Structure 1
Amino acid sequence: MKPIRKNFGNELPFSLLLHYKETKSPQRELPDHQYHWYEFVYVYRGKGTFFIDQTFYEMRQGDIIVVPGNTVHRGFPDKEDPVMSSAVFFSPYLVNNNTFSETYAYLKLFDAAKKNKQYKFTLSPEHAQLVEGDIDAIHEEWEQRRPDGGHAMALLLHLALLHLNRYCLPQAAELGATNELVPDWFREALAFINDHLDQPLELSALAKRAAISPAHFSRVFKQRLGMNATDYISTKRIFSAKDGLLQSNDKIEQIAMSCGFESMPHFYRTFKKYTGMTPAAYRKGNRPH
């Protein structure tokens, strides 16, 4: 199945979007969505699991899930008690390009999450109330449609990110993931794929390494992640290539080979399929000036 990518292009001034107090069900939940925007999810009630970057987490009231850009993720709400949550999507350029004289790292929680491979945090009732208030204020500005509402939402987003840094960063090295939700071989397969993107990753070889049949490997992969192994590997390779294009000065050919693409035509074809642009255009359009 082709991964779904949300194009937030010109939906709002200042590159911000809010999905406010939505009740998720398995029927309404989107397949895995990937994009360069950042996201944080706040859980009001209900339960479920959340997959992100090789790991499954349980979701409960007061939980915050932070999702850096270009990260494979998907929520799995409980059928009997589905999660009600708000999700805030924003471009990193919105918080990096501020007019304050003092520099503040609004995205440091996201950076720490990616570094530590820890994406879920739990707020105390007091701190949860503050974050709920931040989200309510953003939603109210959107509903009012004031001429200066975009500016207000941008400022409120900065405040929400500051609160998340204050209340979630101290937990960064304390919380554990819940990978017992999946079989050991599946967890090990995800880690192996992540660590060997530069090498051939054939389904038959992955299944043999897990000591199961290719059919069973494919079936469990699709059940657990909602996408097949081939699409997952392609997505991970493209995300790795996007990081290489923005964070290094390596030639495009070097980046393609380091991400496991067997030929340049295949790389260009796949990159354009997932991003809608060529690698050179992506590098030129997304690097800070």
Structure 2
Amino acid sequence: MKPIFKPFNASPDFPFSFVYRDTKTKQRELPDHLHDWYEMVYVHGGKGTFFIDRTFYDMNAGSLFLIPGNTIHRAFPDHEDPVTSTALFFNPALVQAQSLGEPFSYLQGFDWSKLNRIYRLLCGPDLAAGFEQGLREIDEELRASKTGMRHAVSLLLQRILLSVNRELGTGGRGQTAQAPAIGPLWMRDTLLFIDTHYADDIGLRELSKRASVSPAHFSRVFKQMTGMNVTGFIAAKRIVKAKEMLLATDRGVAQIAAECGFESLPHFHRLFKRIVGVTPAAYRRRPSLD
């Protein structure tokens, strides 16, 4: 299954998207998510598994997931007790704040998640109550659509992010919430191996041999747990790295393609446009917070 780049139809003046208290099922969940915007997912109830980057997490009431842009992720709702969750998507430009003389950013929680590669925060009662209230108020603002609605939503989003940052900054339980051991050990080892060897010439045959399982079994379990086949997952990893390099370096497109493991520049161009929606050159030209 090819990775899917999630598009947003929001106005450029108000880069925000909101899905309130949605109950997910296997049929209604997108195969894969890969997008530039930042995302928060709060679980109201139900059960499921969330695959983010290279780790599997349990989804249950009070779980909050902080997902920076360009992070591969997919939610798998439980068949008998599917997850009910709220998802907020936003462009980082929406929450840019003045320094006001103190070192603070509304994106600190996401920076912490990316640095530590821990994407789940277990909300305590106070944080959970505040989060539920903030989400409810955002939904009410969007439904009423009164004058100043966008400003109100932006302020509510900032309030939510502030509460998350304070929770993490004061020893919140998110700092010590380790991911449970979901799936076979060889699967977790494989994801770590791909994470550091994505640019190498690796595929199903080599990976299944390292895991000491048959290619058929490896392929079946890998797709069941990540939602993607091995080829698609490695390609998505390479595209994520290429996007980072396009914005953070002045290296040529051909050099980036080679360093990310693509065998030819035309192949890189085709895959990049299919996943991202624009060519590598066009992606580099647009603002970094687009």
TM over 0.5: yes
1:99 CA displacement: 5.7
Once the 2 structures are TM-superposed, how far is the Cα of residue 246 of structure 1 from its aligned partner?
1.3
Q: Report the AA paired with residue 62 of structure 1.
A: G
Give the secondary-structure state (helix, strand or coil) at the position aligned to 1:181. coil
Verify: 1:177 aligned to 2:182, yes or no: no
1:150 alignment partner in structure 2 = 150
| 206-215 or 183-192, larger mean C-alpha shift | 206-215
Amino acid of the structure 2 residue aligned with 1:248: T
Structure 2: distance between partners of 1:62 and 1:12:
31
User: Cα 1:70–1:283, aligned 2, differ >3 Å: closer, same or farther?
Assistant: same
Report the CA distance between 1:101 and its aligned residue. 4.3
- In structure 2, the partner of 1:33 is 33
Q: Secondary structure at the match of 1:287?
A: coil
TM-score scaled by length of structure 2: 0.93
Cα deviation for residue 204 of structure 1 reads: 1.0
Residues 64 and 121 of structure 2 are in contact (CA less than 8 Å); yes or no, is this contact kept in structure 1?
A: yes
> What amino acid is the match of 1:273?
R
For structure 2, the residue ranges without an aligned partner over 5 or more in a row are none
Q: CA deviation at 1:13?
A: 4.4
Indicate conservation of the 8 Å contact 2:122/2:177, yes or no.
no
Counterpart of 1:276 in structure 2 is: 277
Q: Which residue type is aligned with residue 63 of structure 2?
A: D
State the secondary structure of the residue aligned to 1:269: helix
Q: Distance in 2 between matches of 1:251 and 1:285?
A: 16
Q: What's the RMSD between the two structures over aligned residues?
A: 1.8
> Is the CA contact (8 Å cut-off) linking 1:5 and 1:33 kept in structure 2?
yes
Deviation at 1:209?
1.4
8 A Cα contact 1:4 1:32, kept in partner: yes
1:116/1:172 contact within 8 Å kept: no
What is the one-letter code of the residue matched to 2:217? H
**Counterpart-to-counterpart distance in 2, 1:261 and 1:221:** 22
The answer to whether structure 1 residue 233 and structure 2 residue 234 are counterparts is yes
Deviation at 1:16, TM superposition (A): 0.5
Tell me the residue number matched to 1:191: 192
Q: Secondary structure at the match of 2:111?
A: helix
* Distance in 1 between residues matched to 2:238 and 2:109, nearest whole Å: 24
Report how far residue 5 of structure 1 moved: 2.4
Distance 1:262 1:3 in 2: 19
Structure 2 counterpart SS, 1:106: coil
Partner of 2:201: 200
CA contact (8 A) 1:116 1:173 kept: no
Q: Deviations over 1:171-209 (max 9, x none)?
A: 45412111x211111111111111012211122111111
Give the Å deviation of 1:251: 2.2
- Superposed, which structure 2 residues align to 1:1-289 within 5 Å? 1-10=1-10, 13-96=13-96, 98=97, 101=100, 104-169=104-169, 170=171, 171-178=173-180, 180-287=181-288
Q: Give, in angstroms, the shift of residue 259 of structure 1.
A: 0.9
**Aligned partners of 1:288, 1:59: CA distance in 2, in Å?**
29
Residue 10 of structure 1, CA deviation: 2.9
User: Could you say what secondary structure the match of 2:20 adopts?
Assistant: strand
In the superposition, the TM-score normalised over structure 1's length comes to 0.93
Cα distance in 1 for partners of 2:10, 2:79 equals 34
Partners of 1:5 and 1:17 lie apart in 2 by 15
- 1:11 deviates by 5.3
Could you tell me the percent identity over the aligned residues? 47
What is the CA–CA distance in structure 1 between the aligned matches of 2:29 and 2:266, rounded to whole Å? 34
Q: Deviations over 1:114-168 (max 9, x none)?
A: 1111111111112211111111111111001123211211121111111111124
| Secondary structure class of the residue paired with 2:85 | strand
Contact 2:91 2:289 in 1 (8 A): no
Contact 1:13 1:150 in 2 (8 A): no
Distance 1:236 1:64 in 2: 24
* Cα separation, 1, equivalents of 2:251 and 2:12: 34
Q: 1:215 to 1:76 in 2, by over 3 A?
A: same
C-alpha deviation, 1:249, in angstroms: 2.2
